[in-house]
Amino acid sequence: MNTPNGTFKIGVFENEPDIFNCFRNLPRKKCQRPGVEMEIIEIVMRLLGWNWEVIDIVQTFNADPSFGDKYDNGTYNGLIGLLEEGKIDMGAPSMKITIERLDRVIFTSPLRFFQQVYFVSTPTENDFTNFIFGAFTTQVWMFILATVFIVILLEYIILCLEKQENTWLKNLSDAVIEPLTIILRQTVRKHRSRAHWVFQGTLLITFVVLYVYFQSIASSKLTAQKKMDIPFESQKGFLDLLQKRDHYFPVYWRNETPECSNKANCQRMDHVFKMNPVRVGKSLAQITDLIHEGGIFYADYDVDLVPKNGNNWSIRDNITIIKDINGLTSYGAFAFRKQNIRLRNAFNNMLARTIGGMNQISSGVGYNDKIIDMGNTIVTERVSLSLFKHLEQLVLIYFFGIGISIAICCIEIIISHAITLKKILFD
């Protein structure tokens, strides 16, 4: 077997969940969970029996934690730059295999299938405060009010014909009170006209059904979980949001734009980012904060680990990952120096023996267990209704009604005293 001369240097940068935790201690000390790809590398190295070491390129070389971007002078930074300079023999985590990179480095057999993904702040699931008026649309509420007005008008006409001995004010009062009594499912007095019975019976049935619908929808808005709507599904939707300036695009370390997925997006991208420039984050914490402030972070991710278009990337951090349904797909592999073809081939032979267990490692507890299909997050919950989160609207309406009642009561008292005073003065 071909063995490296001296120590085989593996240059890496931290990239959860592939390389993180105690990876810097390898191979001198045991590390229980160094990352998905770090475990694969460790297994292959043990099978090969090589003398190897892990080099954190950020700490050792003060290099950018990136796969490699091309400078104007033709050189590269990141892992590719260090491989070309001979400072490391192999680079990890796995990177996309592209034509430009193949001119600079060689790759192992593909071990991953990448697709374009976007990270956004998880949308708010429910607005509990608007459970009363939010049960129906504005159009439905207007239709209900118009129906009640028409019913009161018809009731008034019927009462005027049926009870001509009453004053118009008495008939109008009864015309308003009786439909409301029926709507509230209270008993009403009998009428002589059978047509009047049919009219009120139809009104009662209609509002009983409407009442059941309202009760069901209002209850669900108070307690039930609902599926979250993802803001977009493709790069076109991503660019649309940036163009409206409702969101912005944060990047990690370097000022760069995402790879366009089709010709139309390529033509739009320069214009969009001139209108809405990117924002650079220097750490994962900064990127997370930028996402929560309206940022949309872009990356290439293992398609096998993203089950649906919208997924809960991190419930703790409240971040959702969106798989671009029309995005670019590519193979991912470890990079080697071009001079290390024999070592790369030996690595490939052992990698082929272990690749079957990669899915088990990837889906292990502590690695990619954070990604959850949003369609499976609807669960039954016991919800205790709170005053300000749930019932605020109801309490406000209640106090508003009490205020109106007090105002009417005061007006009635004033009118009564005015009538009494008038009688005393003029009688």
Residues 283-292: pLDDT tens digits? 778 888 989 8
Per-residue pLDDT tens digits for 136-152: 778 877 877 887 788 77
Q: Are residues 158 and 201 both part of a single domain?
A: yes
Whether 377 maps to a domain, the answer reads no
Using 50, 70 and 90 to split pLDDT, how confident is the model at 378? very low
- Cα–Cα distance for residue pair 186/176, rounded to 1 Å: 14
Write the Ramachandran bin of 49: left for phi over 0, alpha for psi from -120 to 50, otherwise beta: left
> What is residue 1's predicted lDDT score, i.e. its pLDDT?
43
Among 183-197, 222-236, 286-300, the minimum mean pLDDT is found in 183-197
> What is residue 257's predicted lDDT score, i.e. its pLDDT?
79
Whether 117 maps to a domain, the answer reads no
Looking at 274, 295, 323, the residue that finishes a domain is 323
- Cα–Cα distance for residue pair 53/120, rounded to 1 Å: 36
Q: Are residues 268 and 289 both part of a single domain?
A: yes
Q: Are residues 32 and 68 both part of a single domain?
A: yes
Q: Are residues 288 and 308 both part of a single domain?
A: yes
Q: Are residues 307 and 342 both part of a single domain?
A: no
Q: Which residues pair with 321 in a beta bridge?
A: 119, 311
Q: Are residues 303 and 264 both part of a single domain?
A: yes
Q: Are residues 209 and 267 both part of a single domain?
A: no
Q: Is the peptide bond before 250 cis (omega within 30 degrees of 0)?
A: no
> What is residue 106's predicted lDDT score, i.e. its pLDDT?
97
Whether 111 maps to a domain, the answer reads no
Whether 39 maps to a domain, the answer reads yes
- Cα–Cα distance for residue pair 373/102, rounded to 1 Å: 35
Which of the listed ranges 50-64, 128-142, 188-202, 396-410 does the model predict with the highest average pLDDT? 50-64
Residues in the chain: 427
Whether 33 maps to a domain, the answer reads yes
Looking at 225, 259, 286, the residue that finishes a domain is 225
Q: Are residues 174 and 210 both part of a single domain?
A: yes
Per-residue pLDDT tens digits for 350-370: 999 887 777 677 666 566 654
Q: Are residues 217 and 260 both part of a single domain?
A: no
> What is residue 36's predicted lDDT score, i.e. its pLDDT?
87
Whether 118 maps to a domain, the answer reads no
Residue with tokens 């309406």, as numbered in its chain: 397
- Cα–Cα distance for residue pair 35/93, rounded to 1 Å: 10
Task: Specify the number of domains making up the chain.
Answer: 4
What phi, psi does 322 have (nearest 5°)?
Answer: -115, 120
188-210 average pLDDT score:
64
Boundaries of domain holding 287: 231-323
Per-residue pLDDT tens digits for 212-246: 777 777 777 666 555 566 788 889 999 999 998 88
Residue pair 20/34 in contact by the 8 Å Cβ criterion: yes
Whether 38 maps to a domain, the answer reads yes
Q: Are residues 12 and 89 both part of a single domain?
A: yes
Using 50, 70 and 90 to split pLDDT, how confident is the model at 418? confident
Looking at 203, 225, 247, the residue that finishes a domain is 225
The amino acid at 359:
N
Whether 380 maps to a domain, the answer reads no
> What is residue 363's predicted lDDT score, i.e. its pLDDT?
64
- Residue scoring higher pLDDT (192 or 377): 192
* Res 64 pLDDT > 80: yes
Per-residue pLDDT tens digits for 67-123: 988 888 888 999 999 999 999 999 999 999 999 999 999 999 998 888 889 998 887
pLDDT above 90 covers a percentage of the chain that reads 25
Task: Please give the C-alpha separations between residue 73 and each of 16, 69, 70, 77, 139, in angstroms, as whole numbers.
Answer: 32, 11, 8, 11, 63
Per-residue pLDDT tens digits for 75-89: 899 999 999 999 999
